[in-house]
């Protein structure tokens, strides 16, 4: 309520008690971006900034908490904070002072959260010394055994967020204070209780055990997001793969989600897919997770499955045998965009260099109707992955001929639709590459040769202003006229009559070496 906020802002100057409690009210009540905007528009930043240098620790602390809530995932607030000064000192400098080890832990942690939000919003650079030399080491310290369990949870969660998208920060964190080994300790709660007097301790440990595992998985996921050596270190940490596998079937949905995220991060490693993932048959619990889970887990789990289905992954075969095609085809019908993309992406990976039976199963599972649905999806990602799937299905001659003998009419229809539609260069290029694959078939190429509309389209793209499209169109022609194949003379004659040779002559004079050579 805007009037209440204005009233509270006016009361801020009354006494240090009103300052402490009003900041507390704001930070407790501020839930989400709408509330942040309301407080921001009512001058919260300007009214609260000077309280960070109050003589009262409680006021300083509540003001700091207020900024931590206001700045979280909010670029507008973060960009403003970076330029605000109090008594000639900029806020980031004030926050850095509050990070110092001689301050209470809650102050160190909360100021680290403020600086983290500002960094993630782009208000502070990731290579700024206040992040690399102050914020990051402070958050690593919060993960150590000396800290309370709740501090360790908050420290790990904040650090995971800070380094999530920055390779260099991930590398620095991974070699700071043996962090990767330190996190393994997060899985050792509740600790074994020696005496009945420790029942209170057990209760406390139990309460935090889920949160500890969740935050450790999150931080491992961020650490291993890009670097192969870091992933290797994480996987070699004691019982790590077993812990992830156990995490996938935990009762807590938050822990399950964090475990899947961690698995997804590690599944980007070719080496690990061939070794640890295979040794622990990770695909089994993952398929189980995919059977029935809320969308947020499904999205990450299906992304992980995409990686497990890459051609070099030994998990590909058993996943296929466990009914993955049906599951993935059903994902392509989801209303959730990310699930549609992942479903079709996984099928695309599955079809790459696959045997004919698998390709036929995919086409049967998808149905022509669903294929057309995906090809007319408004999202370009879905469209590109569907074209990628078609291209992978239509590879190697016997497969091309077989698929085109059963689905030729529909596929040619789909190709025509896309070449006529308003699509970007990449989409058109991918579609012409599919045509080039069809042209490489023995019997399939006749579907192009007997379709004057398609031939005219190929001719049109040979003279297109974009070299990529010209090149793709020329691949089609080159596959159609290959001398050593039966009927090549008739095909050459027909294309000559259409004026293709004249275009080729023109292209041979092109300044583009690729076009010229082709």
Nearest to 256 by CA among 304, 214, 212, 306: 214
Q: Which of 83, 103, 124 is the last residue of a domain?
A: 124
- HEC states along 98-119? HCCCCCCHHHHHHHHHHHHHHH
Q: Which of 268, 290, 310 is the endpoint of a domain?
A: 268
Q: Is the pLDDT of residue 412 over 70?
A: yes
Residue 327 counted as domain residue: no
Residues 168 and 119 in one domain: no
483 within domain boundaries: no
* Lowest-confidence pick of 58-67, 271-280, 352-361: 271-280
Q: What is the pTM of this model?
A: 0.86
**Do 22 and 12 form a contact (C-beta atoms < 8 A)?**
yes
Same domain, 197 and 162: yes
Please report, for residues 4, 389, 416, 432, 454, the alpha-carbon distance to residue 444 in angstroms, rounded to integers and kept in the order given: 73, 18, 16, 15, 14
Parent domain of 27:
1-124
Are residues 187 and 247 located together in one domain of the fold?
yes
**Cβ count within 10 A of residue 376:** 14
pLDDT tens digits, residue range 459-472?
A: 999 999 999 999 99
| pLDDT for residue 374 is more than 90 | yes
pLDDT at 247 (0 to 100) = 95
Cα-Cα-Cα-Cα torsion 335, 337, 340, 342, nearest 10 degrees, comes to: -140
> Which of 155-169, 253-267, 270-284 shows the lowest per-residue confidence on average (mean pLDDT)?
270-284
Q: What pLDDT digit, counting tens, does each position of 302-338 carry?
A: 999 999 888 777 888 888 888 899 999 999 999 999 9
Number of domains forming the structure of the chain = 2
Together in a domain, 136 and 116: no
- 256 and 172 in one domain? yes
**Which of residues 80, 95, 124 is at a domain's end?**
124
Convert the pLDDT of each residue in 3-19 to its tens digit.
788 878 777 788 889 89
* CA–CA dist 203, 200 (Å, integer): 5
Domain CATH code at residue 83:
1.25.10.10
pLDDT of residue 108: 98
Mean pLDDT lowest among 1-5, 60-64, 388-392: 1-5
243 and 232 in a common domain: yes
Q: Where are the alpha helices (DSSP H) in 82-224?
A: 91-98, 105-120, 129, 136-142, 149-163, 167-174, 179-184, 199-223
> CA dist 1 to 4, 31, 34, 326, 496, Å?
5, 13, 12, 50, 76
DSSP single-letter state for residue 133: I
Q: In this structure, are 63 and 112 located in the same domain? A: yes
The answer to whether residue 354 scores a pLDDT higher than 80 is yes
Q: Is residue 211 part of a domain?
A: yes
Please state, as a whole number, how many other Cβ atoms lie within 10 Å of the Cβ of residue 92.
25
The pLDDT tens digits for 29-58 are: 889 999 988 889 888 888 889 999 999 999
Q: How far apart are CA 66 and CA 49, in angstroms?
A: 10
DSSP assignment of 347-383: HHHHHTT--HHHHHHHHHHHHHHHHHHHHT-S-HHHH
**At 235, which CATH number?**
1.25.10
**334 found inside a domain:** no
Least confident of 4-18, 63-77, 124-138, 395-409: 4-18
Shared domain check, 160 and 55:
no
Any domain includes 147:
yes
Report the distance separating Cα 230 and Cα 30, nearest Å.
37
How wide is the angle at C-alpha 457 spanned by C-alphas 391 and 506, nearest 5°? Answer: 105
Is 90 exceeded by the pLDDT of residue 256?
yes
Alpha-carbon span 327 to 153, nearest angstrom: 35
> Which has the closest alpha carbon to 416: 438, 385, 399?
438
Is the pLDDT score of 453 beyond 80? yes
Residues recorded for the chain: 518
Looking at residue 233, what is its pLDDT?
95
Answer with the residue of higher pLDDT: 203 or 454: 454
Q: Which residues contact 24 (CB under 8 A, 6 or more apart)?
A: 62, 65
Predicted pLDDT at 274: 82
- Please indicate, yes or no, whether residues 142 and 41 belong to a single structural domain of this protein: no
Please say if the pLDDT value at position 420 is more than 80.
yes
| pLDDT confidence of residue 270 | 82
Strands 85-86, 89-90: pairing is antiparallel
Cα 180 to Cα 315: distance, rounded to the nearest angstrom: 27
Do the beta carbons of residue 56 and residue 90 sit within 8 Å?
no
DSSP state of 486: T
Dihedral of alpha carbons 123, 126, 130, 135, sign: positive
31 shares its domain with 155: no
Residue 400 lies in a domain: no
Same domain, 86 and 175: no
Decide if 319 is inside a domain.
no
Same-domain check for residues 169 and 235: yes
Report d(CA 238, CA 234) in Å as an integer: 9
Tell whether 63 is covered by a domain. yes
Q: What is the mean pLDDT of the chain?
A: 91
- pLDDT for 271 equals 84
pLDDT band at 193 (very low <50, low <70, confident <90, very high): low
**pLDDT mean over 275-289:** 87
Which of 247, 237, 374 lies closest to 304, judged by CA? 247
Residue 95: which of 133, 57, 67 has the closest Cα? Answer: 67
Which pLDDT score, from 0 to 100, does residue 202 have? 74
Tens-digit pLDDT profile for residues 137-187? 999 999 999 999 999 999 999 999 999 999 999 999 999 999 999 999 999
**CA–CA distance, 211 with 164 (Å, rounded to integer):** 19
Which residue(s) pair with 89 in the sheet?
Answer: 86
- Residue among 10, 110, 133 at smallest CA distance from 58: 110
| Per-residue confidence (pLDDT) for residue 91, from 0 to 100 | 95
């Amino acid at each position: 309520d805007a009037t209440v906020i204005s009233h509270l802002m006016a009361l801020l100057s009354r006494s240090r008690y009103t300052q402490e409690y009003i900041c507390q009210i704001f930070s407790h009540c501020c839930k989400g971006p709408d509330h942040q905007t309301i407080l921001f528009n009512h001058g919260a930043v300007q009214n609260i900034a000077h309280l960070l240098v109050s003589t009262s620790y409680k006021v300083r602390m509540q003001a700091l908490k207020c900024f931590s809530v206001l700045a979280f995932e909010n670029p507008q607030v973060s960009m403003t904070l970076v330029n605000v000064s109090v008594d000639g000192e900029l806020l980031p400098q004030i926050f850095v002072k509050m990070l110092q080890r001689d301050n209470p832990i809650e102050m160190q942690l909360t100021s680290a959260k403020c600086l983290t939000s500002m960094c993630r919003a782009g208000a502070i650079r990731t290579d700024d010394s206040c992040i690399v030399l102050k914020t990051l080491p402070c958050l690593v310290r919060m993960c150590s055994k000396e800290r309370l369990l709740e501090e360790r949870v908050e420290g790990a969660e904040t650090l995971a967020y800070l380094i999530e998208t920055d390779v260099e920060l991930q590398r620095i964190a991974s070699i700071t204070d043996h962090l990767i080994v330190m996190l393994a300790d997060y899985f050792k709660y509740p600790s074994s209780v020696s005496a009945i007097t420790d029942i209170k301790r057990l209760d406390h440990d139990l309460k935090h055990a889920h949160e500890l595992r969740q935050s450790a998985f999150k931080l491992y996921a961020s650490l291993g997001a890009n670097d192969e050596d870091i992933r290797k270190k994480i996987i070699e940490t004691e019982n790590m793969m077993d812990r992830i596998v156990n995490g996938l079937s935990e009762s807590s949905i938050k822990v399950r989600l964090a475990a899947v995220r961690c698995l997804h991060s590690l599944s980007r490693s070719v080496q690990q897919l061939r070794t640890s993932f295979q040794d622990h048959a990770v695909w089994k619990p993952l398929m189980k997770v995919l059977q029935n889970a809320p969308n947020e887990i499904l999205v990450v789990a299906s992304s992980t499955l995409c990686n497990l289905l890459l051609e070099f992954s030994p998990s590909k075969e058993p996943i296929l045998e466990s009914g993955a095609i049906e599951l993935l085809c059903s994902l392509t019908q989801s209303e959730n965009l990310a699930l549609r993309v992942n479903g079709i992406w996984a099928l695309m990976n599955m079809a790459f260099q696959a045997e004919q039976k698998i390709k036929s199963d995919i086409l049967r599972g998808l149905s022509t109707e669903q294929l057309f649905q995906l090809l007319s999806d408004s999202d370009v990602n879905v469209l590109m992955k569907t074209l990628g799937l078609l291209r992978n299905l239509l590879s190697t001659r016997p497969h091309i001929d077989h698929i085109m003998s059963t689905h030729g009419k529909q596929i040619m229809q789909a190709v025509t639709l896309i070449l006529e539609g308003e699509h970007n260069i990449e989409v058109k290029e991918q579609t012409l590459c599919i045509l080039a694959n069809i042209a490489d078939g023995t019997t399939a190429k006749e579907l192009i040769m007997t379709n004057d509309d398609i031939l005219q389209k190929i001719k049109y793209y040979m003279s297109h202003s974009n070299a990529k499209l010209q090149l793709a169109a020329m691949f089609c022609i080159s596959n159609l006229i290959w001398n050593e194949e039966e009927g090549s003379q008739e095909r050459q004659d027909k294309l000559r009559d259409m004026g293709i040779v004249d275009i080729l002559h023109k292209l041979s004079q092109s300044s583009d070496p690729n076009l010229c050579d082709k």
